[in-house]
Structure 1
């Protein structure tokens, strides 16, 4: 079994299609199909169950996946060691993240990293769900809860704050909100309850639950509802400097703190390139959260003066 065959196998396993694997490898999908058929013939078993929905790993394919991932890590580690560590990062790195951090933090942090490493390609996958790092849906992921299962490297990046907020227009139309209990008389904006993929995002539990007339699985949709005067909801403090029309409310009665974690596959610890990028990303996110929260505090002090 050749590494080049395993490379094609990994691409199909990750993209679950010949066309996606072809784009990843920059080869024709028909060639990808022939390579997979040849590999299956060589080892005498079917690796993928083919259907109109795509290519799903069989039990044999799942067993081969573990070996292929280890082979990939060995090849990457050997390449780095032989070539030596360049002063600048290069290649492609894909980050998975929930859409709050993906929209309000990662763009500026990653742009700054890429400024210093022009040969580096950074991809941000913004999805409101957990990522499967074993299948390389992403090279690393920013999460709110720290996973406890799997062969993963988990490091805390930073804490961040959240508060209730509403637009000035909404407050002008509906009047001041004197207490958390008074929220029952206001339209709440939040997550779709059965689509909350992380218990740490179930913010409205801190308010005693209740009905959510305007709900989305996307924090950015919620953010824009708030900006349009749709109601009251929980907002990341680091997002508020970009929306001067929103006002924090009841800050003395409700303040939430959550944490960001960087999650990587354990085998990546041997890759200096990934270690360097992870350090840059963590430092950048930590500094950006601190900068934006400090800017918000300064804005709040100025408005209270």
Structure 2
């Protein structure tokens, strides 16, 4: 069995089309089709069936998949060993993450990793949904809850805190908020209900509000709404130092704790390079969350002198 044919097989599995696999492999779809046919002939089994949704694995293809992925991991490990990447990490790493993490944590963490490993190229893909690692949309993904199915390796990265918050201008222009009951008179900023892709993001119950007045599927957009004085919303403490004027409201009454989880394909545990990158990512995330939450607790912005902020009406 030819490794190049297995590589083509994996590309079709992940792209679910010959043309998509061809783009990934930098060859035409006809060549991909011939290579798949050659592999099927050698194995004596059909590996794919074409459907309206694209190319789907047959039962035989499903049995071949873990072996092909193991071969891929073995080849990658051999390349790492021979190139000496045990000392300096090189190559490309794509990290998928929800946009709050991608906007407020990963830029600093990844910059630090790249400073230590100049030959490394890191790509951050920020999407408000769950990543499909089987299709290699990313090499590793960060999620707000651990998956319960699939051939995946899952490790907890860090706990983080969230609180109700609003801009000082909004608080100054609206009735005081002394208890949860007072929130009924205020506009709530939050997620679009039918676009919440993880139950851990459903914060509405914490405010006891009947609905969201301004909504977005993006954490960053929600934060911009708060900066514009549009209302109150549940926000990450680690984002507050980046948003001057946005302060916590009822912090003793309304507070949430969540966690980020690092998700990788199970076979990637065999790669020393990815193991080291995962460890570096975890260390950096824990340091950065601790640093930013400390700044948020004292009302200090990034790069600003320490200042204590008390929301009007509290």
Using the size of structure 2 for normalisation, the TM-score is 0.87
Q: Deviations over 1:199-254 (max 9, x none)?
A: 21111222335211222222122112212222111000111111103121111211
TM-superposed deviation, 1:99: 1.0
User: What SS class does the counterpart of residue 288 from structure 2 fall into?
Assistant: helix
Matches within 5 A, 1:1-305: 1-50=1-50, 54-208=54-208, 210-299=210-299, 302-304=307-309
TM-superposed deviation, 1:30: 4.2
Query: Aligned partners of 1:56 and 1:125: how far apart in 2?
Result: 26
TM-superposed deviation, 1:17: 3.6
Query: Aligned partners of 1:188 and 1:55: how far apart in 2?
Result: 44
TM-superposed deviation, 1:100: 0.8
TM-superposed deviation, 1:95: 1.2
TM-superposed deviation, 1:272: 0.6
TM-superposed deviation, 1:164: 0.7
Count of residue correspondences: 305
- Range with greater deviation from structure 2 (263-272 or 60-69): 60-69
- From the superposition, tell whether residues 59 and 250 of structure 1 become closer, same or farther in structure 2 (CA, over 3 Å): same
- Range with greater deviation from structure 2 (16-25 or 276-285): 16-25
- From the superposition, tell whether residues 50 and 107 of structure 1 become closer, same or farther in structure 2 (CA, over 3 Å): farther
Q: Deviations over 1:6-50 (max 9, x none)?
A: 111212222234444334333344433432343344445443444
User: What SS class does the counterpart of residue 61 from structure 1 fall into?
Assistant: helix
TM-superposed deviation, 1:273: 0.3
TM-superposed deviation, 1:81: 3.6
Query: Aligned partners of 2:56 and 2:121: how far apart in 1?
Result: 28
TM-superposed deviation, 1:52: 6.8
User: What SS class does the counterpart of residue 134 from structure 1 fall into?
Assistant: helix
- Range with greater deviation from structure 2 (135-144 or 98-107): 135-144
The answer as to whether partners of 2:180 and 2:208 remain within 8 angstroms in 1 is no
Q: CA RMSD in A?
A: 2.3
User: What SS class does the counterpart of residue 299 from structure 1 fall into?
Assistant: coil
The answer as to whether partners of 2:17 and 2:54 remain within 8 angstroms in 1 is yes
- From the superposition, tell whether residues 46 and 174 of structure 1 become closer, same or farther in structure 2 (CA, over 3 Å): farther
Query: Aligned partners of 1:284 and 1:50: how far apart in 2?
Result: 44
Query: Aligned partners of 1:75 and 1:209: how far apart in 2?
Result: 54
Structure 1 unaligned spans of 5+: none
Structure 2 unaligned spans of 5+: 301-305
